[in-house]
Copies of this chain bind each other. A is one copy, B any other.
Amino acid sequence: MSRFLSAEAQRLAPYQPGEQPGEGFIKLNTNENPFPPSPAVAAAVAGRIDRLRFYNDPDSTALRAALAAEYGLKPAQVLAANGSDEVLAFALRAFCGEGEHRALAFPDLTYGFYEVWAGLFGIEERRIPLKEDFTVDPDDYCGLGCTIVLANPNAPTGLMLPPAQIERILQANPDNVLILDEAYADFAPENCLELLRSYDNLVIVRTFSKSRSLAGARLGFALASEALIEDLARVKDSLNPYNVNSMTQAAGIASLGDEGYFRRCLAEVCATRGWAAGQLRRLGFTVTDSCTNFLFALHPALPGAEIAAQLRARRILVRRWDTPRIRDWVRISIGTRQEMETLIGALQEILAEAKEG
């Protein structure tokens, strides 16, 4: 820290990203997709290189049109950004602050970045504990009188609140925005897109990072009423208007155009998830009912830190947190079937050694 750092920046507590090691690891720690992006992406990006001398379209017009078509909305109901992290940052600046809408409510166990942005923008936090079983109690979010952000499905629990319950929260908060972080929704049996037709206080945030294998391209987007999207664009244009580079815009459009590939990859990840969850339970793990591309698991005999360390020694990375309530859990991204077989084999060994030791 330099002697010039502002008081505001001194107060920041930056996000700690998951480890990004070199080659030679089975990477099950940052919820990446085990499959490469659609083959259509390479050609689309290649076609943009010579025109990189021009600024990208700051409004991501063609990409937003493609997203609008995909979700049956108007392009003016879509905002694109440099990852869904950027969308969420815009949303918190737009819908939290001084006065009536100052505070931000979110669960005690959820995506770790919400509190970081609250710190960045000086937003008061209201952390609401998940129930004992890690589910959200919608009653906790009724009549709070502040902005709400919910990851649904939630991370790292993998659990999902059904759309009818989300609707109850929307109805109980007509004068406040609910930001619904649906980063993992493509892996879930349901989502809340339909609610956009009826509620003007809903912002849905999505990403190409998980289900579309484009984590490294950075592409997220918001879906909401035209008025809310205009608000988000106001923040974008006050921070970084040319936020989505033109290669990423092209990659996103190409990915959306290859529906078959998308569906096949999704089906495979979900099938592998079911297989891996069964195997983990067979090994004695408690595993939540994941609606995502990861599993959240606890073993009665071995703490999470031990499991993660032993796996790391075998070149397999998973994620865990030194956080109350989930200290002993591990979060395991869904890899290929083969990667998950290697994982299960490794866990079997680790548990056997622990029993002997």
A149 to B12, CA, bound (A): 23
Name the interface residues of A1-18: CB closer than 8 Å to any CB of B. Answer: 1-9, 12-15, 17-18
Q: Quick one: closest B residue to A93, CB to CB?
A: B9
A94 to B1, CA, bound (A): 10
A27 to B8, CA, bound (A): 41
Stretch of A39-47, A67-75, A164-172, A186-194 with 4 or more beta carbons under 8 angstroms from chain B:
A39-47
A98 to B3, CA, bound (A): 14
Tell me, rounded to whole Å, the shortest Cβ–Cβ distance linking A255 to chain B.
Answer: 10
Q: Which residues of B contact A15 (CB under 8 A)?
A: 237-238, 241
Digit string of A92-123 for contact with B (CB within 8 Å is 1, else 0)? Answer: 01111111010000000000000011011100
Tell me, rounded to whole Å, the shortest Cβ–Cβ distance linking A88 to chain B.
Answer: 9
Contact B214 A52 (CB under 8 A): yes
Q: Which residues of B contact A37 (CB under 8 A)?
A: 49-50, 52-53
Digit string of A42-69 for contact with B (CB within 8 Å is 1, else 0)? Answer: 1001101111111111100000000000
Q: Does any Cβ of B come within 8 Å of A157's Cβ?
A: no
Tell me, rounded to whole Å, the shortest Cβ–Cβ distance linking A84 to chain B.
Answer: 10
Q: Does any Cβ of B come within 8 Å of A292's Cβ?
A: no
Contact B245 A57 (CB under 8 A): no
Q: Does any Cβ of B come within 8 Å of A177's Cβ?
A: yes
Contact A14 B49 (CB under 8 A): no
- The one of B4, B32, B54, B235 in contact with A9, judged by C-beta atoms closer than 8 angstroms, is B235
Contact A101 B216 (CB under 8 A): no
A225 to B4, CA, bound (A): 12
A83 to B56, CA, bound (A): 11
Tell me, rounded to whole Å, the shortest Cβ–Cβ distance linking A104 to chain B.
Answer: 11
A1 to B14, CA, bound (A): 30
Q: Quick one: closest B residue to A251, CB to CB?
A: B52
- The one of B7, B57, B231, B241 in contact with A1, judged by C-beta atoms closer than 8 angstroms, is B231
Contact B32 A241 (CB under 8 A): no
Given A48-B216, A52-B251, residue A240 in contact with residue B85 (CB < 8 A): yes
Where the two chains meet, the residues of A that have a C-beta atom closer than 8 Å to any C-beta of B are 1-9, 12-15, 17-18, 20, 27, 30, 32-37, 41-42, 45-46, 48-58, 82-83, 85-86, 89, 93-99, 101, 116-117, 119-121, 175-177, 200-201, 209, 213-218, 225, 227-228, 230-231, 233-235, 237-243, 245-248, 251
- Extra contacts, 15 of them, besides A6-B95, A34-B53 (Cβ < 8 A), are A1-B231, A2-B230, A4-B101, A5-B234, A6-B99, A6-B101, A9-B234, A14-B237, A15-B238, A36-B50, A45-B49, A46-B46, A51-B216, A53-B216, A86-B240
